[in-house]
Structure 1
Amino acid sequence: MTTTEAPAAASPAGTHPSPPADPDSPAPTWTAHPTTTEGWLERAQEVSDLLAADAVARDRANRSPFREVELLKSAGLLTLLGPREFGGGGQTWETAYTAVRIVARGDGSIGQLLAYHFLWFWTAELVGTDEQRAAFARSATEGNWLIGGAVNPRDDDLTVTDEGEELVFTGRKSFSTGGVVSDVTILEGVLEGTGDHVFTAVPTRQEGIDFAGDWDNLGQRLTESGSVRITDVRVPWADALGYVDKQFHGLVYATLNVPAIQLVFTNFYLGIAQGALERAAAYTREKTRAWPFGGDDKASADEEWYILEGYGQLASKLWADEALIDRTGATISEVLHAPREELTEQRRGEIAVQVAASKLRIAEDGLEVTSKIFELTGARASSNSVGLDIYWRNLRTHSLHDPLPYKKREVGEYALAGRIPEPTWYT
């Protein structure tokens, strides 16, 4: 699969697109991709603005986000981490994390799709051989793939059988973000008769991959994160990432997959919370009425002391969270782009603690923001047509991914005793 081509996106045309009125019409396109970090973040903002324009309607319709994926493709965002020599953006993880955050402000679901895609794009970098890394980076970038993953570590019912020159994947995963809208799926299973985990990339559209279409959750409704049945999906041993002569050759660097994806979560949580505060503030300025029965009557809502206090509290928390998350993103980005053999267990553990602290802060503060905004916008803002509920539903749903108290414990053990967490599927 490292050199197999998937369907490429349509050739870009047009510039600075605006959303078409017909949701079934083609996604907007651009004439060229950015060449600078600032340009890529501007592109992410353009995509975010387009998504925000009809986010409420699309959430209510709950349709598979094929058109939204085409938007990400035509914007070039899927290739942001790809090498420049293959047509990619050549950007760092620090930029990728920020792009995820920006897109999530407009639509948390699509921010998650992009976020997971970046992690799966980096899978070969994390665990693959040098040859696999180069081949996958080229194929994924030139193919403009959206990459999904059937890698839920709590499911142990996807087995991998050694059949000589091939591996055969069979079983089920209860979650598979990206689902039917992806071009390529990262599979993970345990090699039969061993405790060894095997990662590989396969074309999504094949007979042996059957998505149940059962993603029907409170939030993040457009992420295609339902279950998937895997039946006799065959891959050559050469596509088993990190394996040479059927033996895995991994480094401490390979265990960065979990801190990297946990910080992915952290950034789209921040984006969702920022989007909620921005949307609520706009509503307050435009529609919220001052309270006329308090004995301290104001002419407009933006003069009400409790509203000013409320926005001040929420904004200051998000600003503090953003500073912490940016610092963590810069730290892990430097390591992700450094020579793989240089990473030590101690350094990896310290980064994991920073990620845990970042995630627990934005999860708690973000849930406060997405709930408190109703008190600052007023009763009429609870109308379904306004759509402020989307932000809380999205953040509430994904922040249950793994228990937050364990993140607090990891930070506490480090702060109190200097102990770093042992790498696990969630640490």
Structure 2
Amino acid sequence: MGLASPPFRPTSPSDRPGPGHAHWLRVAREVADDLATDTVAREQAGKAPFDEVSRLREAGLLTLLTPAGSGGGGADLTTVYAVVREIAAADGAIGQLLGCHYFLSYSARLLAEPALAARIEERSTAGEWCWGGAFARQEPPLPLARTSRGLVLNGRQSYTTGALVADRLAVCAVREDTGEPFAVLVDTAHRGVRIDDDTDAFGQRLAAGGSVEFDDVPVKADDVLGSLSADEDILSPRSALASPVGRLVSVQLCLGMAEGVLAEVREYIRTGHTPWQHPTWPVGTSHDPQVLTAYGELTVLTRSASALADQAMEGVQDLLAHGEDVTYDEYAETAALVAMAEAAASRAAQESTARALDIVGARSTSARLGFDGFWRNARAHTLHAPVTHRLRDVGDYVLNGAHPPFVLPS
């Protein structure tokens, strides 16, 4: 049974190769270094990250996935995942914001018909849109009703990533007449859209999350990206790819936060600030057995998760490249591999950000140093994306051959 078809990629006579992976990774590192200089101060200020989004826009990162001939960066998903990881290492909240933008904007290629996807991508690139939203159905559904004026969207979503700064929101709405869920694109400037900065999370504060109320917001035909039904009779091959593509964003976000805190701890220790410094050890070296053991364990944990993530990315890229030649069983195998990578990356992020405080010692309680921010960001994200269900999916697949369900990231 064929499951996956190639994602839509608009072509143009003027299309040309983009600058390449190395270029965009260098750009991401420059932006990450810039963000790292004032991460603690920005989080403590708690302002909506309009300036941060401007930095991403000016660096060309918001249009990274658009073909170069159409005015974008011409990057592929491998580059996008690397960029998210690099940004998350410096600022987990901005990494989440950017990763959400990439997944939701790319989902138009997977969910919408090719002609519609082309129109949306063209408008998004021209306006340098920042996308926010969420597709996971963890709240009461947003009703999408047909009226004499056409489709209208109502309801409230209690948390929406990027809501405070997004130009467009992509959300899951359910048709009242059929009960089928659809991905819907909404202009945040419409008068029927009300966004409240009412999120009081202890972590990921700069992910620009907030509640959104929709009051008779008109939904045009071009605003309906496609079905989000998990029913195999409705779920299209192209739409099915949205699950592993999106969940790998969460994987990279977790890995970025784990690698970021380990890098900060390494720098801190190398300056001689170890909690159990022996008087005979030279200042600026790291010889304490407890520090070495703890850091070694966390490094192994994070690099192991990274290796799993690489395997999962290769699997997803194969699905995207082989199209209709991919079987349902092959798709299920890749979905299970992504679930394994999620579980490993989540554990690496939680362990590294928590135990980093022990390695640094009592000094890690200083708000000025910002070590607590890594833990709070990682914990807030992993609570919204718990891996318990993913571990169950892996077990069910390995033991019983059950195909993992179609689950979108929260």
Q: Is the 8 A contact 1:211 1:227 kept in 2?
A: yes
Q: Is 1:255 matched with 2:240?
A: yes
Q: Which residue of 2 aligns with 1:42?
A: 26
Instruction: Give the SS at the match of 1:217.
Output: coil
Seen in structure 2, the aligned counterparts of structure 1 residues 292 and 274 have a Cα distance that, compared at 3 Å, is closer
Instruction: Give the SS at the match of 1:199.
Output: strand
Q: Which residue of 2 aligns with 1:392?
A: 375
Give the letter aligned to residue 168 of structure 2.
Answer: V
Q: Is 1:413 matched with 2:407?
A: no
Q: Which residue of 2 aligns with 1:121?
A: 105
The 5 Å alignment of 1:228-243 reads 228-242=212-226
Q: Which residue of 1 aligns with 2:124?
A: 140
Q: Which runs of 5+ in 2 are unaligned?
A: 1-16, 228-232
RMSD (Å) for aligned C-alpha atoms: 2.2
The 5 Å alignment of 1:292-331 reads 297-300=280-283, 301-331=285-315
Give the letter aligned to residue 259 of structure 1.
Answer: P
Seen in structure 2, the aligned counterparts of structure 1 residues 192 and 289 have a Cα distance that, compared at 3 Å, is closer
Q: Is 1:265 matched with 2:281?
A: no
Q: Is the 8 A contact 1:151 1:173 kept in 2?
A: no
1:198 Cα offset (Å): 2.0
The 5 Å alignment of 1:184-263 reads 184-242=168-226, 251-263=236-248
1:275 to 246, 249, 260: 260
2:357 to 365, 374, 381: 374
Cα-to-partner distance string for 1:84-127 (whole Å, 9 max, x where unaligned): 22111121111111110001011000000110001111121111
Q: Which residue of 1 aligns with 2:336?
A: 353
- Paired residues, what number? 388
Seen in structure 2, the aligned counterparts of structure 1 residues 409 and 170 have a Cα distance that, compared at 3 Å, is same
Cα-to-partner distance string for 1:138-194 (whole Å, 9 max, x where unaligned): 221222111011534122341111125621001111111111201111132111121
Seen in structure 2, the aligned counterparts of structure 1 residues 424 and 304 have a Cα distance that, compared at 3 Å, is closer
1:197 Cα offset (Å): 1.4
Q: Is the 8 A contact 1:97 1:329 kept in 2?
A: no
Q: Which residue of 2 aligns with 1:181?
A: 165
1:421 Cα offset (Å): 1.4
Q: Is the 8 A contact 1:242 1:249 kept in 2?
A: no
Q: Is the 8 A contact 1:179 1:224 kept in 2?
A: yes
Q: Is the 8 A contact 1:151 1:176 kept in 2?
A: no
In structure 2, how many angstroms separate the alpha carbons of the residues matched to 1:171 and 1:151? 14
Q: Which residue of 2 aligns with 1:16?
A: none
Give the letter aligned to residue 257 of structure 1.
Answer: A
1:236 Cα offset (Å): 1.9
Q: Is the 8 A contact 2:144 2:151 kept in 1?
A: yes
Mean CA deviation greater in 251-260 or 115-124: 251-260
Q: Is the 8 A contact 2:18 2:74 kept in 1?
A: no
Task: Say which structure, 1 or 2, has more relative contact order (CA 8 Å, 6+ apart).
Answer: 2
Seen in structure 2, the aligned counterparts of structure 1 residues 233 and 381 have a Cα distance that, compared at 3 Å, is same
1:97 to 72, 75, 81: 81
Q: Is the 8 A contact 2:255 2:348 kept in 1?
A: no
1:323 Cα offset (Å): 1.5
1:329 Cα offset (Å): 1.6
1:229 Cα offset (Å): 0.4
TM, length-normalised to structure 1: 0.85
Give the letter aligned to residue 398 of structure 2.
Answer: A
1:287 Cα offset (Å): 4.0
In structure 2, how many angstroms separate the alpha carbons of the residues matched to 1:201 and 1:123? 11
Seen in structure 2, the aligned counterparts of structure 1 residues 389 and 167 have a Cα distance that, compared at 3 Å, is same
Q: Is 1:166 matched with 2:143?
A: no
In structure 1, how many angstroms separate the alpha carbons of the residues matched to 2:373 and 2:242? 29
Q: Is the 8 A contact 1:199 1:241 kept in 2?
A: yes
Q: What percent of counterpart residues are identical?
A: 34
Seen in structure 2, the aligned counterparts of structure 1 residues 65 and 292 have a Cα distance that, compared at 3 Å, is closer
1:228 Cα offset (Å): 0.7
Give the letter aligned to residue 238 of structure 2.
Answer: Y
- Tell me which stretches of 4 or more aligned residues in structure 1 moved more than 6 Å: none
Q: Is the 8 A contact 2:164 2:210 kept in 1?
A: no
Instruction: Give the SS at the match of 1:194.
Output: coil
Q: Which runs of 5+ in 1 are unaligned?
A: 1-32
Q: Which residue of 2 aligns with 1:383?
A: 366
Seen in structure 2, the aligned counterparts of structure 1 residues 355 and 268 have a Cα distance that, compared at 3 Å, is same
Instruction: Give the SS at the match of 1:202.
Output: strand
Q: Is 1:131 matched with 2:115?
A: yes
Q: Which residue of 2 aligns with 1:4?
A: none
2:384 to 397, 401, 412: 401
Q: Is the 8 A contact 1:127 1:250 kept in 2?
A: no
In structure 2, how many angstroms separate the alpha carbons of the residues matched to 1:356 and 1:266? 9
Q: Which residue of 2 aligns with 1:67?
A: 51
Give the letter aligned to residue 122 of structure 2.
Answer: R
Cα-to-partner distance string for 1:372-411 (whole Å, 9 max, x where unaligned): 1122222223211111000110000110124322111111
Q: Is the 8 A contact 1:156 1:189 kept in 2?
A: no
